[in-house]
Structure 1
């Protein structure tokens, strides 16, 4: 099929759709004069999209479709085990003392820069604009506070 053929088909489809819509609009206008209820029914018929309940089931790893509840549950179990299976040699190191990762300077700076200006102060009475002006000094103080926790 050539590029020009595609355009011609699209052009014909557009013309046919316009002609169909013109016909529908004429019907709606005619119903507007005679029967209000049928007019709304016609508009609903045109605009309402019917929902289809299509259940294709779930596919097993080998591609066969599973429809039974028990088999579906088994397949989901199998799938989640595959999804969360971790074969990596190196694992993340976690402290046993319950401490999380330390907060870095760039995170504090990013948080301060994201604060919106022109908002009311919180319980501490410190406005975002004040923190913005004293950014470097505030970051140093907040780093000390965070490291002390």
Structure 2
């Protein structure tokens, strides 16, 4: 899929009411797609021949892509809200930001956080210790790049520091901004990868 084809597809979409023009653009899109597919197949064959002895694993991956057993990597484009194809990185990021804001939009009134601990005793070290040791190893890290294994390796020093931090949050009602940030990874759930609505968002 090339930028030229995407532009033609967008032009075809806008010409739906004009039968003659629509058919002409449709034929051009098909011709361009066939040419792009032929070029892709030729490139894959050259890569297979090149990696036959140098890198067998890479060669096998190319063969699997060629026969349709393995999906090729997705293209760097996305559909805007109005259906227009966007390819610029900054506009793609703006579209994801727009989609996530709409997805998590909350019309409820903001709840006022009470200052001070009126609920009970402070958080205990034993509670923190139990929570830490229940954390599973080998999991992906968040924005802080701190793995569960690293926290466990700090032992009592880490337990003391985390308990102090949690008690401070509990007492003040203020959560550090760094703890409110998340990473979202878009996982396509259908073949239409250009559509943000065809993805599952994984939050880290």
TM range (shorter): 0.3 to 0.5
TM-score, length-normalised on structure 1? 0.33
TM superposition score normalised by structure 2: 0.24
User: Whose strand fraction is larger, Structure 1's or Structure 2's?
Assistant: 2
